[in-house]
Amino acid sequence: MTTTETLLTGAALIGGTDVPGSGEPFQAVNPATGAALEPVFRPTAEDDVARAAELAHAAFKVYRHTGFEQRATFLERIAAELEALGDTLVERVIAETGLPEPRVRGEVGRTTGQLRLFAAVVREGSWTGARLDTPDPARTPLPKPDLRQRRIPLGPVAVFAASNFPLAFSVAGGDTASALAAGAPVVVKAHPAHPGTSELVGRAVRSAVRGCDLPEGTFSLVHGGVEPGLALVRHPRIAAVGFTGSRRGGLALVAAAAARPVPIPVFAEMSSVNPVFVLPGALAERGAELGAEFVASLTTGVGQLCTSPGLVFLAEGPGADEFVAAASAAVGAAAAAPMLNVGIAAAFTDGVRRLTGSAGVRTAATGTGTSDTCTGVPHLFVTDEARFAADPALREEVFGPSSIVVRASADRLPALAAELEGQLTATVHAAAGDCEQAGALLDELELIAGRVLFDGWPTGVEVGHAVVHGGPFPATSAPATTSVGSLAIERFLRPVAYQNVPDALLAPELRAANPLGIPRRVDGSLTGD
C-alpha cells in the first residue's frame, strides 16, 4: 500500500509539515519549450532550514536505533512509493529536464534499484564493521580487555541534489539511500531546476516515513539556492554533507564545512573530463568503429553526465585518421538538443566558444541545428600533444557534448596520463598486441581515477558492490569514498570501540551470541561468526 500525494504545492517538507518558502519566487522551466511550469516555489527560510536540522537531530536519537529489518523495509517502502507515482513522476521529470522518456523510466528503475540494494546491504550487516577481540583476564602484566567495535552513523546528513540526474542523484538518490541505510536522517536541498520532481519524490519519502512509523524528522526537503544550502551546511546539527554538482559549488560547501566550529566531512562529486586512451593495436584494428562508439557515449544525455568522455588521447599511427574521421562524421550528424536548463546551456556555449578560438585547436565537427538559450550543439575538437601540454585550459571540463581529441605518440601516453588531474573514470582501448603498453597505462591511470575501464566507454555507471564513482581531487573532495554502489554507506559511519561493556548493553551486532547472524571479524579473522 502506498499513500503518496501527487498534488504539487511549492512547499518545503519540514518533517511532517508543509512549509511555504519566502523571498524570490522561482519556477521550473521546460527546456524543450521554454514554458514556465506551475507551481511557484520560493527558497526555504533560514529558520525553517534550522527546524529541519533540529527535527533531524531529534529523529536521529530514534532512527539510529532502528533494527536492520525495519530500516531495510523503510528503504523498500520508499522504492514502492516512487513506483506508485507512475506516469505522474515520469511526466514531471520530462517537463522539468527535457530528458527523453526511456532515460527517465530507466532512471526511475535505477533509483528504486539503489534503494533496494541498500536494503539488502543493511540486512547483510557487514557494513557495521563488527570486530570482537577476545579478552584474556589472565594475561600479564596487564589483563587483555574485552574490546568490540562497530560503526555508527555520524548524525543527520545534508544532501544536495544534482541537476543532471533528477532522480538517481537527487531527493531519493544514492546519497539519501546510503545515508538512510547508515542510520542517518536526511535533509535534502532540492535542485532549483526540478523543484516539482523534488516535491513529488519528497512526498513519496515522507509517506514512507509515516507508513513505517518513523520520527517525522527522518526526512525533510528544503528549496532554493545558495543561501538555504549554506544555512544547512553551517547548522550545528548537521554531521555530514553529500553533494553532486559543479566544482565551484562543491568547493564552496567544503569551505563552509571546514569553517564551522566543528568541521564536518563533505562528500562532493565535482568535475571530471574522463580521459580515454586508444592504443595503437586497437586503433589499427577498429579505429573507425571506435570513433563512432566514442560519439555515442559523448552525446548520451546531451553530454550531461559526470562520466562523459571529454578528452581522448589517440596513439598516432594507423587508424588514428579513421577514428577522427568517423567521430567527426558522427558529431556532424548529431542534432542540437535541449540541455537541462539555461544555466547549463550557457556554460556549455561559453566553453565551446573558448575552445573554438583556442590556438592550435581545430574544430573537427559541429552538430546540426543551431544553439539557442537552452540548446547544446555537439562539438568535436582536435589538437596535438604539444599544444595540449602547453594549454592547461584544455584540461578543464566543458559540461555537455564537447570533447577534445589529442593526437600523441604512443610511448608518451603513460606520461600524459600521469600529468592529469583526478578523474572519476579513465578508459583504455587496447588490442591483443597492446598488452605491455596497456599495463604501463593502467599503472598510471589507477593513481588518478576512481574507475578504470577497458574497451568500453565511461558513461553508464553500474550500481553494485564493486563500482567506484569517486576519485582523486578535483573529481571529488573525498577520494577514499564512492557516491555510487554499496560502499557509499561507509561515508556516513564512524567506528566506535566498546571496552568491557556488559553484553546486555551492547547493540545486537556486537553481542556475544551474534543474534543477527552477521559477518564479524573475531581476533582479526573474518570467521562469519
Q: Does 470 bind a second copy (CB under 8 A)?
A: yes
Name the catalytic one among 216, 269, 285, 509.
Answer: 269
Q: Does 431 bind a second copy (CB under 8 A)?
A: no
How does DSSP assign 277-310, residue by residue?
EE-HHHHHHHHHHHHHHHHHHHHGGGG-STT---
Q: Write down the least CB distance from residue 117 to a second copy, Å.
A: 8
Q: Contacting a second copy (CB under 8 A), which of 451, 475, 489, 516?
A: 451
- Site residues for a second copy, 42-81, by CB under 8 A, read 61
Q: Contacting a second copy (CB under 8 A), which of 373, 480, 503, 512?
A: 480
Q: Write down the least CB distance from residue 500 to a second copy, Å.
A: 5
The closest alpha carbon to 178, from 119, 253, 238, 112, belongs to 119
Contact predicate 262/236, CB 8 Å: yes
Distance in angstroms (rounded) separating the CA atoms of residues 272 and 284: 28
- The number of helices, as runs of H, and strands, as runs of E, in the chain is 13, 23
What's the burial of 526, exposed, middle or buried (CB within 10 Å: 0-12/13-18/19+)? Answer: exposed
Using the contact rule CB under 8 A, the part of the chain among 44-52, 179-187, 400-408, 494-502 near a second copy is 494-502
Residue with cell string 539555461? 342
Q: What is the largest CA-CA distance in the chain?
A: 81
Whether 306 sits among the annotated catalytic residues: the reply is yes
Contact predicate 28/196, CB 8 Å: yes
Q: Contacting a second copy (CB under 8 A), which of 23, 100, 236, 439?
A: 439
Name the catalytic one among 107, 216, 306, 444.
Answer: 306
SS3 of 433, please? Answer: helix
Cβ closer to a second copy: 34 or 67?
Answer: 67
Cβ closer to a second copy: 362 or 521?
Answer: 521
What type of residue is 277? Answer: F
Assigned C-alpha cell, 262: 566543528
Cβ closer to a second copy: 124 or 372?
Answer: 124
Whether 269 sits among the annotated catalytic residues: the reply is yes
Using the contact rule CB under 8 A, the part of the chain among 79-87, 216-224, 343-351, 490-498 near a second copy is 490-498
Q: Write down the least CB distance from residue 149 to a second copy, Å.
A: 4
Distance in angstroms (rounded) separating the CA atoms of residues 439 and 28: 48
Contact predicate 155/239, CB 8 Å: yes
Site string for a second copy, 183-212 (x = CB under 8 A): ------------------------------
- Site residues for a second copy, 330-349, by CB under 8 A, read none
Cβ within 8 Å of residue 186, ≥6 positions away? 56, 156, 157, 158, 159, 175, 176, 179, 180, 218, 219, 220
- Site residues for a second copy, 217-276, by CB under 8 A, read 258, 262-263, 265
Using the contact rule CB under 8 A, the part of the chain among 70-78, 293-301, 348-356, 444-452 near a second copy is 444-452
Q: Write down the least CB distance from residue 252 to a second copy, Å.
A: 14
Site string for a second copy, 352-371 (x = CB under 8 A): --------------------
Cβ closer to a second copy: 36 or 497?
Answer: 497
- Site residues for a second copy, 135-174, by CB under 8 A, read 142, 144-145, 147-149, 152, 154-155
Cβ closer to a second copy: 65 or 353?
Answer: 65
Using alpha carbons only, how large is the chain's radius of gyration in Å? 25
Evaluated on CA atoms 12, 15, 17, 22, the torsion sign reads: negative
Q: Does 400 bind a second copy (CB under 8 A)?
A: no
SS3 of 335, please? Answer: strand
- Site residues for a second copy, 104-133, by CB under 8 A, read 120-121, 124, 126, 131-133
Which residues does the annotation mark as catalytic?
269, 306
